[in-house]
Amino acid sequence: MILMKDIYKTYDNGVTALNGINVEIDQGEFVYVVGPSGAGKSTFIKLMYREVKPSKGKLIINNKDLTDLKEKEVPLLRRQIGVIFQDFKLLSRLTVYENIAFALEVINESPRNIRKRVMDVLELVGLKNKARFIPSELSGGEQQRVSIARAIVNHPKLVIADEPTGNLDPDTSWEIMKVFEEINARGTTIVMATHSKEIVNTIKRRVIAIEDGRIVRDQHRGDYGYEI
Ligand SMILES: Nc1ncnc2c1ncn2[C@@H]1O[C@H](COP(=O)(O)OP(=O)(O)OP(=O)(O)O)[C@@H](O)[C@H]1O
């Protein structure tokens, strides 16, 4: 469960990116975050994995109150959340297998468990046959599937994605969305910031629209609501 109560974020340069956010997201929901460029979507997403700290307000993620979270507690929080970016952020010298295994090695999983979990997750994203490839040998959609595999290999309760289809062509974007839907069907909460009108209007889910740092719309099975 995610709870934000009167959340404000003002960056060091004086820009107020979030201006009193109140929202509750239940376990298992699939939420799109939409809004114009600069509205505060990325800031909203970054709060959840403590890339950004709120200036004011109460924030609960996975039932943990982050208000007084200590620096040393941040890695544990991040291990419980899968994060997916527009530009994939894979390690270029490591193979697909190693990119995903890395997330498990840092938590001291046994080699046998690592092998099983990496192969299972590669199967889920349909890339078992590319385990030994390096990222530059893959298409954009395949790279994004690797980054999804890496994000979910720990079985996080929450997956957040900031414009995951932003660098992909429409066909590839639909493939990626199928993977997200499958993860969500297994009970994982998904929060996804997107500029894709087609996706939001076709795969109907909860829509939270942010403008000028405020939630201006929150609809069950909503529309994208903007022209582009
Ligand atoms: N690290 C930062 N330091 C200062 N200001 C920032 C920082 N990050 C974002 N901002 C500002 O905060 C506001 C909200 O930015 P944010 O990235 O959250 O918007 P966004 O809705 O995700 O935009 P886009 O759709 O273009 O990605 C913008 O005015 C931006 O310039």
- Banded pLDDT at 23 (limits 50, 70, 90): very high
Ligand 1 atom nearest to 210, measured from its CA: 21
What does the pLDDT read at residue 16? 98
What does the pLDDT read at residue 108? 83
pTM for the predicted model, two decimal places: 0.94
Residue owning the nearest CA to atom 17 of ligand 1: 42
User: Domains in the chain, start-ordered, CATH in brackets?
Assistant: 26-39+76-219 (3.40.50.300)
Instruction: Name the residue of 10, 18, 33, 43 to mutate for ligand 1: max ligand atoms within 8 A of Cβ.
Output: 43
Give the CA distances from residue 200 to residues 60, 161, 225, in Å, rounded to whole numbers and listed in that order: 26, 14, 9
Residue whose C-alpha is closest to residue 46's, from 33, 30, 63, 28: 33
Q: Could you tell me if 218 and 207 are in contact, meaning their C-beta atoms sit under 8 angstroms apart?
A: yes
Ligand 1 atom nearest to 43, measured from its CA: 18
Residues of the chain above pLDDT 90, percent: 92
What does the pLDDT read at residue 194? 97
Q: Over the stretch 58-67, which tens digit does the pLDDT of each residue have? A: 999 988 999 8
- Residue 119: how many CA atoms within 13 Å on its side-chain side? 6
Neighbour tally for 24: CB within 10 Å: 12
**68 pLDDT higher than 90:** no
Ligand 1 atom nearest to 52, measured from its CA: 1
Euclidean distance between CA atoms 192 and 35, whole angstroms: 12
- Banded pLDDT at 55 (limits 50, 70, 90): very high
Euclidean distance between CA atoms 25 and 31, whole angstroms: 8
In this structure, what token pair is assigned to residue 39?
């509205």
What does the pLDDT average to over 162-187?
94
Q: Cα of 38 to ligand 1 centre, how many Å?
A: 5
The complex scores an ipTM of: 0.97
**228 pLDDT higher than 80:** no
Residue owning the nearest CA to atom 12 of ligand 1: 17
Q: Which residues line ligand 1 (CB under 6 A)?
A: 11, 13, 15, 17, 35, 37-43
What does the pLDDT read at residue 63? 86
What does the pLDDT read at residue 138? 97
Q: Cα of 131 to ligand 1 centre, how many Å?
A: 36
Q: Over the stretch 98-153, which tens digit does the pLDDT of each residue have? A: 999 998 988 888 999 999 999 999 999 999 999 999 999 999 999 999 999 999 99
